[in-house]
Amino acid sequence: MLRDIDQFFLNQQEPAKSCLFYLREHILSFNGNITEAWKYRMPFYCCKGKMFCYLWINKKTKQPYIGIVEGRRLEHPLLVMEKRSRMKTMQLDADADLPLQTIDSILKMALALYE
């Protein structure tokens, strides 16, 4: 039987599915302190036991995004707060190459908050 978190990834439609699978592995390999958890019926990534970021699909655009839990403490032009009080998101285009340097830069800034 599959875990809920594995089922989440498998249930997504292409091309978002491939994008999310890649992001999952990329985030987990980004830093040895990052672990995966199923919280709020979403795939979350924790750093030293604290919620760090999550992956989700935008309901309107059907495109994946990375949510940064402590996003309000970060400044980056691609991080959007919208109506959230704490988190910011980075919207992605599953049909295009992922901007890995930008993603890594944001992850690195966010990780610095946990050290």
Query: Where do the domains of the chain lie, and which CATH numbers do they carry?
Result: 4-112 (3.90.1150.200)
Tokens 């309107």 locate to 60
In which order are the strands placed within the sheet that holds 64-68? 34-39, 42-47, 50-57, 64-68, 88-91
Helix (H) or strand (E) holding 56: strand 50-57
Amino acid at 46: C
- Which amino acid is located at 67 in the chain? G
Global pTM value: 0.94
pLDDT at 83: 86
Residue in the structure block whose two tokens are 């032009």: 77
Q: What is the pLDDT of residues 55-71, one digit of tens each?
A: 999 999 999 999 999 99
Question: In whole angstroms, how far apart are CA 61 and each of 20, 41, 51, 94?
Answer: 15, 20, 25, 11
Residues of the chain with pLDDT under 50: none
Instruction: Give the pLDDT confidence score for residue 84 in this predicted structure.
Output: 86
So what's the pLDDT on residue 44?
97
